[in-house]
A = this chain, B = another copy of it.
Amino acid sequence: MEVKVVRNLLEANERIAQENKKMFSEEKVYVINLMSAPGAGKTTLIEKTVKALKDNWKIGIIEGDIATAIDAERIMSHGIPVVQINTGSACHLDGNMIRAALGEIPLPSLDFLIVENVGNLVCPAEFNIGEDDKVMILSTPEGSDKPVKYPLMFQESSLLLINKIDLTPYIDCDIREMRENAQKVNPKLDIIEISCKTEEGLDKWFAWLSERIERKTARRI
């Protein structure tokens, strides 16, 4: 009974996610679903990304949080459209929440939509929202064993950003081992090492994104 309900929920979600995906294709908007544990650096990464790319591309943000609008307020200061979803108690975003939020964002005028998921290394990976790519962040203080302990998100993602590499002198984290563990659970995973604080590696992330936005919008900058 319980299993059947869960399966029905996931199937219903998949239908809505496919409808979202169709809409994103018609409007030629490249969409990422950005996921990580709490505090890995999603909002800071979005702020840096908006600052670097907003002159080239029209960017919109959907912020998912259980409570508060702290993240939306941080991003709104950059002068781009932001919609806050408060999930109440739900531990992830789903296709339906995104569909509702799309009514409040000027989708036809956008090139690039970033959806910041709820901070959770487990549940968000189970729910497609119609995105082109799932992108995840793992920060060095979380430890190199996380890909094998929480494999689904690593399996579902196109790109892993290893963040807070500036902290490695002060913590026990072997980045080589972290990369090996990630590639063990998903051999096709792209990996970029970054520090949102020192901005090291962010140029590679911007290049990864720009290539995909250009392809989706069929427009070169």
What is the interface of chain A, defined by CB distance below 8 A to chain B? 1-2, 5, 9, 37-39, 65-68, 70-71, 89, 91, 118-123, 126, 139, 141-143, 145-146, 148-152, 164, 166-167, 170-172, 197
Contacts and interface: CB of A to CB of B under 8 A. Distances in A.
A37 B151 CA distance: 15
A66 B122 contact: yes
A111 B142 CA distance: 31
A37 B142 CA distance: 9
A38 B152 CA distance: 14
A152 B122 contact: no
A19 B122 CA distance: 28
Contacts of A71: 149
Nearest to A9: B2
Contact of A120 (B66, B121, B139, B142): B121
